């Protein structure tokens, strides 16, 4: 007699993201983090990047209608419990994602939460977002977002504040919240005044919550934003509140940076594998 299968359908989460041929960031990081968080990962590819640990040497974007079609195909069959966006590359793709999300009930006003990581550049400074796309983020995608999670480089591009201390981090959170996202997380990884801690700041328009974590001595932080946002989306898909889901994302990324490893001759990746059993 054949054995019965025992799988239980896990929460379903989609990444809308670009690929990283080096396997450390973008869609690859998202899917690894989803697996480590015990959810079923789906993917709408926005761009193929040619990159290793040193540089991004090519970006080939997917037609906006194909990005939207991937979201629609999955939402109408598999169903989605949360969505996270990463590299969206162009204004037309951001708009296509916004309209596809509206049709599928994805976003702050629908049943499916939307986490927006407004990816603008790689760790090495290679541009992953067209300059004209910033305004589309601010006016079209942010108002639909359950939570946006920019790092300080992205904050500078989005609101023109160079965050050097905690008080500027608070100011930036207030300005970003003005664009309409229900929650804002201003990540503090690039805040050099914090030498031993890394404080992410959550703001809901009324209350600020500081999320402190250790700062590690490592250059291997490639993919850290992707992993944190993917873990946050996974927690939302399980039905956690936004503050609890962001705290879960923070705990996930602290452990992933602790487990980060060297790869190639550039920046190695953080490791979502810290959360997976080593059965081999
Ligand atoms: O970590 C941000 C990011 C997102 N998506 C892609 C990337 C990167 C950083 O390099 O390459 C495809």
Q: Is the CB of 150 under 6 A from ligand 1?
A: no
Q: How far is the CA of 88 from the centre of ligand 1 (A)?
A: 10
Q: Is the Cβ–Cβ distance between 233 and 41 less than 8 Å?
A: no
By most ligand atoms within 8 Å of CB, the mutation choice from 33, 47, 61, 87 for ligand 1 is 87
pTM for the structure as a whole = 0.97
Q: Is the CB of 221 under 6 A from ligand 1?
A: no
Q: Is the CB of 119 under 6 A from ligand 1?
A: yes
Q: Which domains does the chain have, with CATH numbers?
A: 12-159+177-182+217-271 (3.40.1190.20)
pLDDT tens, N- to C-terminus, the chain (280 residues): 899 998 999 999 999 999 999 999 999 999 999 999 999 999 999 999 999 999 999 999 999 999 999 999 999 999 999 999 999 999 999 999 999 999 999 999 999 999 999 999 888 888 889 889 999 999 999 999 999 999 999 999 999 999 999 999 999 999 999 999 999 999 999 898 888 999 999 999 999 999 999 999 999 999 999 999 999 999 999 999 999 999 999 999 999 999 999 999 999 999 999 999 888 8
Q: Is the CB of 122 under 6 A from ligand 1?
A: yes
| Nearest-atom index, ligand 1, CA of 126 | 10
By most ligand atoms within 8 Å of CB, the mutation choice from 223, 268, 270 for ligand 1 is 223
Q: Is the CB of 43 under 6 A from ligand 1?
A: no
């Amino acid at each position: 007699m054949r054995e019965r299968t025992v799988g239980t359908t896990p929460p379903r989460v989609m990444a809308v993201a670009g690929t990283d041929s080096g396997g450390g960031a973008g869609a690859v990081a998202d899917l690894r983090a989803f697996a480590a968080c015990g959810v079923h990962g789906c993917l709408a590819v926005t761009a193929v990047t040619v990159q290793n640990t040193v540089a991004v040497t090519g970006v080939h974007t997917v037609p906006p209608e194909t990005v939207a079609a991937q979201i629609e195909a999955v939402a109408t069959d598999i169903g989605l419990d949360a969505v996270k966006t990463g590299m969206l590359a162009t204004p037309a793709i951001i708009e296509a994602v916004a309209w596809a999300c509206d049709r599928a009930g994805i976003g702050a006003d629908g049943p499916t939460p939307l986490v927006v990581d407004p990816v603008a550049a790689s760790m090495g400074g290679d541009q992953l977002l067209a300059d004209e796309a910033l305004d589309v983020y601010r006016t079209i995608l942010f108002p639909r977002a359950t939570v946006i999670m920019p790092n300080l480089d992205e904050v500078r591009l989005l609101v023109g504040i160079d965050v050097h201390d905690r008080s500027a981090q608070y100011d930036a959170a207030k300005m970003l919240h003005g664009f309409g996202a229900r929650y804002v997380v201003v990540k503090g990884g690039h805040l050099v005044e914090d030498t031993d801690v890394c404080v992410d700041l959550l703001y809901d328009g009324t209350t600020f919550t500081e999320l402190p974590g250790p700062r590690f001595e490592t250059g291997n932080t490639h993919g850290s934003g992707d992993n944190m946002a993917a873990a946050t989306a996974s927690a939302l898909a399980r039905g956690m509140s936004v503050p609890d889901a962001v705290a879960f994302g923070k705990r996930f990324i602290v452990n992933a940076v602790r487990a980060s490893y060297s790869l190639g001759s550039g920046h190695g990746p953080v490791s979502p594998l810290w959360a997976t059993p080593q059965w081999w």
